[in-house]
Amino acid sequence: MCETSRIPGGHNLRALISGGTGFVGSHLARFLITEGVEVFVFSSTRGESAADRNPKIRYIQADICDVAAVTRVFEESQPDEIYHLAGVSSVPASRQFPRQVLEINVLGTFNLFEAASRMQSFPRVLNVSTGQVYAAAGEAARPLDEQCPVQPANWYATSKVMAELLASQYTDRKGAFLINARPFNHSGPGQSSDFVLSTLASQVAEAEAGLRPASIKVGDLSVVRDFTDVRDVVRAYYLLLRSGRNGEVYNVCSGVARQVSYALEFLQSLAEIEIKVEVEPSRLRPNETRQIFGDPSKIQKETGWRPAIPFETTVRDLLDYWRAQIRLKQAANPCPV
């Protein structure tokens, strides 16, 4: 057991993950278990089926926009540390439902911080923001560090800036410890097909299985992004609550700029059939930032964290995940003879 996983003279370290049944939260929960941390997960949805739930994790269903429900979660879990991941993370969804995004990502964050502040001892809190807060600054052909101006270009990123400002209202309180993490693009097994690498991989897997023509539909492949494996990202979050400085902001990124086209070319090389590519106008986002990539120097210097999983491994594992998902569905719903 990691020596940091136990409170001196007391219980095992207790972690509460908001949004813990989601893509990143599920990876984080599993990682914390391996570190000897007692994990509580709360989400507005049940997430995994009862059969898939980890018996070592305590699951609590609660709406983060419900003040009484959030208070109940804290009373039940009594956390020593909090990883705040809950929120709407889809940019298209934020354009379609901006009010809902603000209610969940901003007011929900306020409810969580307030519940934490009412505990006898303020837990250590990691507020997960996004590298998209720099979006408009991303056009500069250089890696973005934490000193770059915050210029959000969509409702999702705007809501995350507001949540960071909320965090700053609590860091001055006695005993409060809050850190803001700004992860750039991250991917890996289990990610929804709403996100770029996952939608490419899922389409390749479907084409291999004969569920779609041997072609995939894409948006703008020339955009440049900074991709990190989700399994490296959750390790960064863990280290930030141990070595990060109170009130600080940290980029979580690889520092490597890659065109999305490279990911597609690599997926095509892994595919079991020849895959053609079709640009679909509906996938082209208006006013999309051409490039966003970050500078990870600060988190590397202060925590020792560095990405360990190569980009190609992330893409390969993502494709294997979708292949496995399709096999499971086909086994559960075999075609009639």
- Report pLDDT digits (tens) over 15-48: 999 999 999 999 999 999 999 999 999 988 766 6
> Does 150 map to a domain?
yes
Neighbours of 303 (CB within 10 A): 18
The yes-or-no verdict on residue 101 having pLDDT over 80 is: yes
Please tell me whether residue 74 adopts helix, strand or coil conformation: helix
**Token pair for 80:** 């020593």
CB neighbours of 273 closer than 8 A, spacing ≥ 6?
207, 208, 214
**d(C-alpha 19, C-alpha 88), whole Å:** 10
Q: How many domains does the chain have?
A: 2
Cα–Cα dist 19/44, whole Å: 8
Three-state secondary-structure class, residue 237: helix
Q: What is the CATH number of the domain that holds 29?
A: 3.40.50.720
- Please check whether residue 299 lies inside any domain of the structure: no
Instruction: Determine the Cα angle at 23 with ends 19 and 29, to 5°.
Output: 65
pLDDT at 337 over 60: no
Kindly state whether residue 303 falls inside one of the protein's structural domains.
no
Residue 19: per-residue pLDDT: 94
Q: Which residues partner with 14 through β-bridges? A: 38
| Domain-embedded: residue 302 | no
The token pair that represents 307 in the structure block: 């990405």
Claim to verify: residue 140 and residue 183 sit in the same structural domain: yes
- Of 221, 117, 101, 102, nearest to 172 by C-alpha is 117
Q: Write out pLDDT tens, residues 155-183.
A: 999 999 999 999 999 987 777 899 999 99
Is 108 in the same domain as 207?
no
Distance CA 309, CA 174 (A): 39
Predicted confidence (pLDDT) per residue in 24-33, tens digit? 999 999 999 9
Encoded tokens for 154: 């969509």
Cα distance between residue 57 and residue 32, in whole Å: 10
**pLDDT (tens digit, 9 = 90+) per residue, 119-145?**
999 999 999 999 999 976 556 668 999
- DSSP per residue, 314-327: HHHHHHHHHHHHHH
| CATH code for position 323 | 3.90.25.10
Give the range of the structural domain holding residue 220, as residue numbers without chain letter: 196-225+257-292+309-331
Residue at 139 is within a domain:
yes
In the structure, what pLDDT confidence band is assigned to residue 3 with cuts at 50, 70 and 90?
Answer: very low
Asked whether residue 111 is assigned to any structural domain, the reply reads yes
